[in-house]
């Protein structure tokens, strides 16, 4: 129903989980949350069709949406969890011990005419990463930063491996359907996952067995909407997910809540929910 559902190939993963073709998946009759969100599942300015269903990862966005007077919520769990079920061995290696840190730079975003870049002290962040991490670091840049040579080069010149997992797409075009597959494969070989902001990748990494860390210059996003409370609110609500040495048991419990682990449903239930059952 909405092209955001294709972001990162999430709709494709759910179709595959349901035993349906994932090259051109059937439409989801509503809006699927595409990233971890501190609000009601979407950005404050997102527009919805009247009466549309909102499919969120966990119960917290549903509760926050209800507090704003919004209805038609259904909690389905994060598509990454379904991918982990589909690909239990993707990325696993014979080596028993994970190594290194996969470090995600907080990123900007793009959309025709309304994108936004990040601004911050990259060298200061690099210095803190080098002071903190004891094993080799791989920097993951979102495609919006990967395409900016002035950002990418500073991390390459610092001696880090710099990678990009692909593009999320826009209006059904340019979606890298393997985006989350590539992330999952990477997470399963790294010991740590880190970022300068608490974000989706941290929770994905924890779900895949990485030790999390969130530290460093949080940087600024052009035109960042303050409606959700920004970094101050995140520090108040998720303090246990911030720092250089986060308790793993606590991180796992919070991750299970935020990704909606207990709401994962069997294929037959999802096909019914999305009206994906074939009709004679």
Residue 66 lies in a domain: yes
Using CA atoms of 210, 211, 215, 221 in order, give the dihedral in degrees to the nearest 10. 20
Q: Are residues 122 and 47 in the same domain?
A: no
> Mean pLDDT, the chain, as a whole number?
91
Structure-model confidence comparison of residues 224 and 189, the more confident one? 189
Whether 48 and 106 share a structural domain: no
The DSSP letter of residue 131 is: H
Domain residue limits at 40 = 3-88+260-273
What confidence tens digit (pLDDT) does each residue in 239-251 have? 999 999 999 999 9
Per the model's pLDDT, the better-predicted residue between 22 and 280 turns out to be 22
Report if residue 49 sits inside a domain: yes
The per-residue pLDDT for 49 is: 74
The whole-angstrom distance between residue 173's C-alpha and the CA centroid of its chain comes to 20
Given a cut of 90, is residue 264 above it in pLDDT?
A: yes
Number of domains composing the chain:
2
Burial class (CB in 10 A: 0-12, 13-18, 19+), 232: exposed
User: What's 140's domain CATH number?
Assistant: 3.40.50
Whether residue 255 lies inside any domain: the answer is no
Q: Is the pLDDT of residue 143 over 80?
A: yes
Query: Is the pTM above the cut of 0.85?
Result: yes
Q: Do strands 220-221 and 137-140 pair parallel, antiparallel, or not at all (unpaired)?
A: unpaired
Is 219 a member of any domain?
yes
Backbone angles phi, psi at 279, to 5 degrees: -110, 140
- How far apart CA 173 and CA 169 sit, in angstroms, is 5
Q: Is residue 279 part of a domain?
A: no
Please write the tens of the pLDDT for every residue from 198-212.
Answer: 999 999 999 999 999
**Which one is predicted more confidently, 223 or 180?**
180
Q: Clarify whether residues 161 and 267 are in a common domain.
A: no
Range with lowest mean pLDDT among 12-26, 87-101, 239-253: 87-101
């Amino acid at each position: 129903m909405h092209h955001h559902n294709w972001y990162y190939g999430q709709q494709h993963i759910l179709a595959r989980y349901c035993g349906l073709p994932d090259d051109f998946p059937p439409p989801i009759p509503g809006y699927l949350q595409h990233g971890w969100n501190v609000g009601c599942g979407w950005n404050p300015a997102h527009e919805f069709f009247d009466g549309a269903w909102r499919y969120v990862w966990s119960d917290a966005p549903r509760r926050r949406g209800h507090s704003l007077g919004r209805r038609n919520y259904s909690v389905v769990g994060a598509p990454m969890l379904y991918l982990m079920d589909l690909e239990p061995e993707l990325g696993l290696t014979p080596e028993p011990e994970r190594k290194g840190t996969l470090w995600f730079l907080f990123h900007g975003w793009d959309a025709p005419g309304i994108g936004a870049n990040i601004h911050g002290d990259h060298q200061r962040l690099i210095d803190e990463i080098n002071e903190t991490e004891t094993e080799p670091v791989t920097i993951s840049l979102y495609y919006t930063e990967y395409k900016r040579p002035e950002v990418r080069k500073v991390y390459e010149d610092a001696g880090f491996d710099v990678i990009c997992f692909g593009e999320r797409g826009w209006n059904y075009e340019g979606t890298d359907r393997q985006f989350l597959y590539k992330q999952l494969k990477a997470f399963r070989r790294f010991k740590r996952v880190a970022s300068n902001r608490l974000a989706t990748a941290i929770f994905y990494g924890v779900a895949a067995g990485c030790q999390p860390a969130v530290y460093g210059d949080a940087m600024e996003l052009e035109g960042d909407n303050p409606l959700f409370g920004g970094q101050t609110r995140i520090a108040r609500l998720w303090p246990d997910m911030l720092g250089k040495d986060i308790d793993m048991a606590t991180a796992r419990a919070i991750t299970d809540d935020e990704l909606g682990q207990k709401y994962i449903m069997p294929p037959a239930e999802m096909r019914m929910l999305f009206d994906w059952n074939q009709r004679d």
